[in-house]
Structure 1
Amino acid sequence: MSAARYYVDGKVQGVWFRASTREQALALGLRGYARNLADGRVEVLAAGDDAALATLEAWLRRGPANARVDRLEREQAHEDEAGDGFVCG
């Protein structure tokens, strides 16, 4: 089990990015959250299987149909930050 924090920059607010991320994460069995940041980015914290995290990361590079991802940053995170389930904040 691993955890990662992602910062997604581009046209990622107001395009169902958080809800779509939640759907992807739940389908992959990941825990964590997706939330908008004041600077226009979306922060995603996910914890779970390494292969599932890699799949989510690949999806975050594209996002949902109406999004435009210009930049994706990844940082290590702690599993205990993820909580239970996957929520949008």
Structure 2
Amino acid sequence: MVGTEARTDAHLVARAVEVTGRVQGVSFRWSLRRVADRHGVTGWVRNRDDGAVEAHIEGDADAVETVEAWVHAGGPPAAEVAEVTVTSVEPTGTEGFTIVR
């Protein structure tokens, strides 16, 4: 099973990501999900009440770094990212990538 093998891979990493700026109402969550899916990264993303977007991303280290780089580069075209905070966390074994409402 490919999915099981990927979940036990020693290179599996996870990150908690917080993004501030003009990041709500600009398709940030949907765009992040597309980027994560394209690179095989799992997790979730949601809008916070304070206007920030937060996400949990996990997968192969290189894939997670690629998704992080997309966020640091500013996300979707309409976004205006002010700050990105990334913290290493323990992988939770998420499957797929979910937009939390």
Task: Note whether the superposition's TM-score is higher than 0.5.
Answer: yes
Structure 2 match to 1:69 = 81
Post-superposition shift, 1:42? 0.3
Moved runs in structure 1, 4+ residues, more than 3 A?
A: none
Matched-pair identity in %: 38
1:17 to 23, 28, 34: 28
Post-superposition shift, 1:77? 1.6
**Structure 2 CA distance, aligned partners of 1:5 and 1:73?**
8
1:1-89 equivalence runs, <5 A: 1-61=12-72, 62-80=74-92, 83-89=94-100
**Count of aligned pairs:** 88
Give the number of the structure whose alpha-carbon radius of gyration is greater: 2
Post-superposition shift, 1:5? 0.5
TM-score by length of 1: 0.95
TM-score by length of 2: 0.84
- Structure 1: runs of 5+ lacking an equivalent: none
The CA RMSD measured in Å over matched residues stands at 0.9
Q: State the secondary structure of the residue aligned to 1:25.
A: helix
- Structure 2: runs of 5+ lacking an equivalent: 1-11
**Structure 1 CA distance, aligned partners of 2:16 and 2:23?**
16
